Amino acid sequence: MSAIKLLAIGNSFSEDATYYLHDICQAAGLESKIVNLYIPGCPLEKHWGNIVEDKAAYRYELNGFYELEENKNELVSIQSVLDEEKWDHILTHQASHDSGILTTYEPFAQNIYRYLKDEQPQAKLWLNQTWAYEIDSDHEAFSRYHKDQAFMYQELTKCYEQTASEVNVPLIQTGDLIQKLRQTPLFDYANGGESLNRDGYHLSFIYGRYAASLLWAQTIFGIQAKTVDYLPKSRFEPNASVDEEKIALIKEIVSQMN
């Protein structure tokens, strides 16, 4: 059986969400090829510009990894990676700093999805909803949202829902998941719970990334969250212990979505 192939055209937020995805699929008995195209903080406008210019600007991350050796880390273009495979699933998202500002989405989202439909008509296309920053985030763009997590979440939710409707693709509700988990005692950071972010905006190496990857596995590949027996292990925190109560909670919340 050939591997199911997914391409994310993104940045560090799709890097977070794809980190454990291949491992989760493997544990569920599903062969997969997961590629993330990475430029730090890349917005839709820049993705479209890179398509128009056929610019080799992306780090190629395969199954949660990328080569650190200089001679194995050549940058690639979106077109070259589209030419590499007949992809089963392709997605992108807005950069987090622009996620709640509707005017930053168009015409770039429409242009990108029209291009993807033309290039890969067999692929199922998705839009990934990013998440709001942590309540004490020091990200310079947080001031655009009055340094208010709830306001940022409200605004990005409206933007993603409208854009998904306009480009006629389903939404991966990653931002909704993170916000739902933040409302549980274990991840209620404001009241002593563990933050799902490692720096105020990127997802934490264990639970944040695991939650996003698990949601993608369920939403895109139909893997039921409660059946997954994979426990996350990050090469960035190799000695971190995994709290199975938190894992069980993440599985429960993910299973309630879609």
Measured CA to CA, the distance from residue 232 to residue 218 in angstroms comes to 16
> 136 near 100, Cβ under 8 Å?
no
- Helix, strand and coil in the chain, % to nearest 5: 45, 15, 40
Per the listing, tokens 């392709």 go with 90
What local confidence, expressed as pLDDT, does residue 73 receive?
Answer: 65
For residue 82, what are the CA distances in angstroms to 5, 32, 51?
Answer: 11, 16, 11
Measured CA to CA, the distance from residue 49 to residue 51 in angstroms comes to 5
Taking Cα atoms as reference points, which of 209, 214, 229 lies closest to residue 172?
Answer: 214
What local confidence, expressed as pLDDT, does residue 67 receive?
Answer: 62
Residue type, 37: L
What local confidence, expressed as pLDDT, does residue 1 receive?
Answer: 64
Measured CA to CA, the distance from residue 103 to residue 30 in angstroms comes to 39
Low-confidence ranges of the chain (pLDDT < 50): 69, 71
| φ, ψ dihedrals at 8, nearest 5° | -110, 125
Handedness of CA 222, 213, 126, 226 (dihedral sign): positive
Measured CA to CA, the distance from residue 25 to residue 33 in angstroms comes to 10
What local confidence, expressed as pLDDT, does residue 211 receive?
Answer: 98
Q: Which residues contact 127 (CB under 8 A, 6 or more apart)?
A: 91, 92, 93, 109, 160, 163, 164, 167, 169, 170, 171, 172
| pTM summary value | 0.96
The pair of three-digit structure tokens given for residue 3, joined into one six-digit string: 């591997």
What local confidence, expressed as pLDDT, does residue 71 receive?
Answer: 47
